[in-house]
Structure 1
């Protein structure tokens, strides 16, 4: 077999390993990402738990880099401290090393079982969690298969006359071998793939244990560089954890390389076979870095902050037109009338954001622009942040000094915050999902269906604007008109649903394809309308125009 064919087979096997690793990681993130994030938030305050959780996350995600990026983002958001984040990353490196150990065993019998079971689960259910679980099983099966293929592809290299020359060269120049392993790992974006490749080649007798240990140290250097490069344009708070990992793991690998080349300890202390010696060296290195780093964790954290600060350009002054001042003046909290007026101004700003979101989401139904979709999700984050600030501000207000009318206004503003937040969630978590599904499946509404949706949306948007006006004016006639419009919308919904089902009975293909999206969108818009209408109920109750949830007869 020619050398080019051998390298082609080896490249294909390595590519399958990288793809399978990513497949497992994305499957875990999609199925259990929210649960993992919640666990991370709740347990990261304890240093020991941070290490354990980091280890578990690396095993689940098959990537210490993914854990570093996740923890870095949480540290940037202030959810966890930077020091706790660095400890979690230390645990993640150990978890990544343990994954290599497990995958080094002969698990070839599991390959057909995992692929068959995973494919069966993925193909026979529509439940998201189960489909992703099937994806994870297939990914693990492909990882094991790729390791077999790497071994088979590298087998002809044992008889190559060139291979001993290359090995001898790198054995005599460990620094170059160390740097080459770091470069290859950075290209792979996976320390697991890098170490497994070394182990497979060592198992075929192609790499001696001393060179393998040097290469493993290079893999750890390369892995520590990935996250800092991926976050180089992120906010400074996000970059502290990856930089800390680079200081600990990257410099640690350099120190260990120097010690290994100086004292030349016997690799036999790490195991009876060359693959075992290389894997155990990888695990031992990360354990040593963790233990050695514990007493210096605070120093490393401060050094990370200093390095990030050196590489952070001064923040340019924000243009005046982009400056957004908060009306929530703490000095006015002792004067209820002023505090309520301030809160009202902020609630009005939230109303404006929600109106933009409600307008934009329907534009996305017509054209699913990715930039607009990201901007819409960012607007929901702004709504959440603003409503949280308003609720906190109102909670600090002196309720005891309020008149009865002021206390009612206080409750009205709190209720408006909750409802506006819920509207934003419906738009992003429900309607935006419909937009993505419609775009992914390249579906189109029938002209009649699209016309009905557009009319329904226009009615809800008009009602939203009316509700926002009533929140300011507290005009009972406008409030009464909004509740009447709610009843009309209920009738409109019934007529729209009837028309939609008639098209289904007539067998309109497009109606069948978009039926779920159509009905779910109508339901979401109706729910939004109900939430916004309920914002004006206090005005009607104050005028004695409302019996529980129904208008009095005029």
Structure 2
């Protein structure tokens, strides 16, 4: 039992080290890696080379798959180019397995010591994040040593050898076990290194080890499909296409395992090198031999998973890239872009609201009310996306931006709700009874509306740029709007005293409308508070209180 626990602990340490390296590289270099990928799509060969380079750094073809599929989902690259990237990604992870199979044990204590020093002394900086990468590399090298040490005593038992003999009789079972291990470990690299270490200790026969390696390659494709199972069709097309390539490669390579051992074994020293070189040879042959099939596979995948035609792209998130979550800085930027998308729809609702008031357009009113559902859905999507970002990986500025985005989206969602209620009131109290505002009353509503649209655009600019002067201007607009609302309420009462017929018919609606417009403006102006607070330009009195209760403040 002790030896089994030692082996499980070593495997867990190997998987954890791989995870630290993958997430660390993505957090430090993720944005640059994505730009490099996006710029390397001139043809299928440069795309494959970029896949090799990115995966060699990230040490995960699955991570590269997620980044690439997100580009397809955003319409930045074509599906054949993405599949070409994945051909290179498989070669990249195989190259890393060859590197780690060499005797680098002397680097393990150096990496761990240096990484811990960087992580402790500068935890929130790029150096601290790079330190976590070094810790991951050191743990991987240490884990490989522990696997070799633990497998010998464990697999000397007769019961375990009987289990291994049963596995060696079925290539399909070996592939299935290897694929399952890769899915569970979330890393085909870790499984290949584990199998190589076990083969070195004579725990598994070489033919079994090679079957497990084929399974690990297949498992990485299955893992990517499972990870993107709930993504858009365009994203899933990449991972499904990559899985088809892996299935084809495994089907072609499996019958030739014996031939590989027969002809290559005499020229390779050691079981470890034999296993990792087989992993490399498999991926090189499949990538080079099948790269000309990317167009054909892309067409097949498009027939299997056709992209549904959509009337409008505004109804779904456009920037919430799941593969960017491992790069918190990039994920925060994506959430901010999506928040501006949400605000654009609110602006459309706000502009359309005046047209409904002026022209009694019931069809437009219905369309605008449906847009509020889109605003609500985007708010939920942005909020859920932000909750999946690791807060521990965020610096002070990024954490503040995280909070600002949440606050902005809440305000936009509430503005959308108010506009929907205003439109319903207009339908019930103006359009259906066929009433009209007085000429003076309509002019007041138009002026307030123009200020609202202007303030919303200014608020979006403040949210995007964080300009303190614009934030102060936006806050000043709150006071001006409040004064206008009071003045127009007073002039409306004057018209009632003068017995103006249209004003008397729409009195309740008019008062409610200008009050709702003031509430909308309060939500818009509250965008300025976080900016002014961070700059120390927010007075610690009434303004700070209004930040907490922007609607209650008159």
Contact 1:270 1:281 in 2 (8 A): no
Stretches of structure 1 that go unaligned for 5 or more consecutive residues are: 328-345, 383-414, 432-455, 470-488, 497-515, 526-554
Q: 1:51 to 1:114 in 2, by over 3 A?
A: same
- The question of 1:133 aligning with 2:147 is answered no
Separation in 2 of the partners of 1:467 and 1:78? 44
| Alignment map for 1:102-113 (pairs within 5 Å) | 102-113=99-110
TM-score normalised by L of structure 2: 0.61
Contact 2:459 2:474 in 1 (8 A): no
Report the equivalent of 2:463.
Answer: 424
Contact 1:208 1:274 in 2 (8 A): no
Distance apart, 1:89 and its partner CA: 1.2
Separation in 2 of the partners of 1:113 and 1:372? 39
Report the equivalent of 2:420.
Answer: none
> C-alpha offsets along residues 95-128 of structure 1, whole Å, 9 cap, x if unaligned?
1011111111111111111111111122223562
Separation in 1 of the partners of 2:187 and 2:67? 16
1:7 to 4, 22, 26: 4
Report the equivalent of 2:60.
Answer: 63
Report the equivalent of 1:283.
Answer: 280
2:185 to 179, 183, 188: 188
Q: 1:170 to 1:378 in 2, by over 3 A?
A: farther
Q: 1:380 to 1:281 in 2, by over 3 A?
A: farther
Report the equivalent of 2:534.
Answer: 520
Distance apart, 1:369 and its partner CA: 13
Q: 1:203 to 1:184 in 2, by over 3 A?
A: same
| Alignment map for 1:83-232 (pairs within 5 Å) | 83-125=80-122, 128-232=125-229
Distance apart, 1:59 and its partner CA: 1.4
- Higher-RCO chain (CA-CA 8 Å, sequence separation at least 6): 2
Stretches of structure 2 that go unaligned for 5 or more consecutive residues are: 316-341, 349-367, 388-395, 414-453, 483-524, 540-554
Q: 1:173 to 1:376 in 2, by over 3 A?
A: farther
Separation in 2 of the partners of 1:519 and 1:462? 12
| Alignment map for 1:131-530 (pairs within 5 Å) | 131-260=128-257, 265-268=262-265, 271-309=268-306, 422-426=461-465, 462-463=475-476, 520=534, 522=536
Q: 1:168 to 1:380 in 2, by over 3 A?
A: farther
Contact 2:458 2:470 in 1 (8 A): no
Report the equivalent of 1:45.
Answer: 42
How many correspondences in the alignment? 393
Q: 1:318 to 1:210 in 2, by over 3 A?
A: closer
Separation in 1 of the partners of 2:411 and 2:266? 57
Separation in 2 of the partners of 1:381 and 1:93? 44
Distance apart, 1:159 and its partner CA: 2.3
What secondary structure does 2:48 align onto? helix
Distance apart, 1:163 and its partner CA: 2.8
CA RMSD of aligned residues (A): 4.9
Distance apart, 1:33 and its partner CA: 1.2
Distance apart, 1:45 and its partner CA: 2.7
TM-score normalised by L of structure 1: 0.61
